[in-house]
Amino acid sequence: MRLLWKKSVFTDRSGYLFILPFYLLFIYFLLIPILEVVFYSLTDYNMFSGKKFIGLHNFSELWQDKVFIKSMKNTIVYLIFTLIPTMSIGLLCAIFLNTKLFNTSWARAFIFMPHIVSMVSVSMVWMWLYDPTFGIFNRILSTLGFDTLQWLVDPKTAMPSVIIMSIWKGIGYNMIIFLAGLQGIPRDYYEAAEVDGANKVKQFIHITVPLLAPATFFLFVTGVINSFNVFEQINVMTSGGPVNSTTTMVHQIYLRAFSEFKMGYASAQSVILLCGVMFITIINYRFGGSRKKYGDE
d(CA 261, CA 277): 24
Tell whether 57 is covered by a domain: no
Tell whether 183 is covered by a domain: yes
Side-chain-facing half-sphere of 108: CA atoms under 13 Å: 17
Residue 114 makes CB contacts below 8 A (sequence gap 6+) with 122, 168, 169, 171, 172
**Total domain count for the chain?**
1
What is the predicted pLDDT for the residue at 99? 82
Tell whether 116 is covered by a domain: yes
Tell whether 47 is covered by a domain: no
Q: What is the CATH number of the domain that holds 166?
A: 1.10.3720.10
Tell whether 111 is covered by a domain: yes
pTM: 0.86
d(CA 46, CA 59): 16
Tell whether 44 is covered by a domain: no
- Structural domain including 97 reads 64-290
Ranges in the chain, pLDDT < 70: 1-12, 103, 287-297
In terms of residues, how long is the chain? Answer: 297
Tell whether 203 is covered by a domain: yes
Tell whether 1 is covered by a domain: no
Q: Residue 53: in which H helix or E strand, if any? A: strand 52-53
What is the predicted pLDDT for the residue at 5? 47
